[in-house]
Amino acid sequence: MTDHDFELKLQAYLDGELAAPETAMMEDRLGRDQEGRLLLAELRNTCAALAGHEAEIKLPETREFFWSKIEREIGRQEQPAPAAAGVSWFTWLRRHVLPATGIAFAVCLMSIWAVHRGKISGQFAEMELASDDVGAYTYSDPQQKMTMVWFYDRNDNSQSTELSPLGNVEEE
């Protein structure tokens, strides 16, 4: 018997798990083996120390009831989550109205931009004269809502600024 087998059998002997013939053989050996007796004594001391300090856990309920609770909890977690009976108004609002609000906001921004762009582009005009001999005065009257351009011949002194009805306005 190797030492390891002896140690295992010694533990079993201590726990009273050996059969009668093996128990007799173990006692015979222990009578002859001092080291074995010392190991047995050490094991007994260890068992006594552990037994004296082991925390005692007591279930407040019966064993069957405890395991029944675990079984029911496992069963509950395995069930699929039941579908919501009704969608709350806030969820509906968030799902439907908020995206529409975002798009409406984008439309408003584009409209403001378009109106603003139209106003800016509507305020300015461009003009080019084809000849250096021709001059022009431009006058925009916001009250009468009209734009007037007066052309004159730069070489003709009789058509001076004084004669132009738009003489005191923007010259091109």
**List of residues contacting another protein (CB under 8 A):** 95-97, 99-100, 103-104, 106-107, 110-111, 114, 118, 121-122, 124-131, 134, 136, 139, 141, 143-152, 159, 163, 165-166, 169, 172
Amino acid letter, 27: E
Separation CA 140–CA 82 (nearest Å): 73
**Smallest distance from another protein to CB 83, Å:** 19
Tell me the closest approach of the beta carbon of residue 156 to another protein, in angstroms.
9
Nearer to another protein, 77 or 121 (CB): 121
Give residue 58's Cα distance to chain centre. 44
Nearer of residues 79 and 131 to another protein, judged by Cβ = 131
Which residues are bridge partners to 134 per DSSP?
153
Contact indicator for 100, 145 with CB cutoff of 8 Å: no
Residue with tokens 């039941």: 82
Nearer to another protein, 111 or 155 (CB): 111
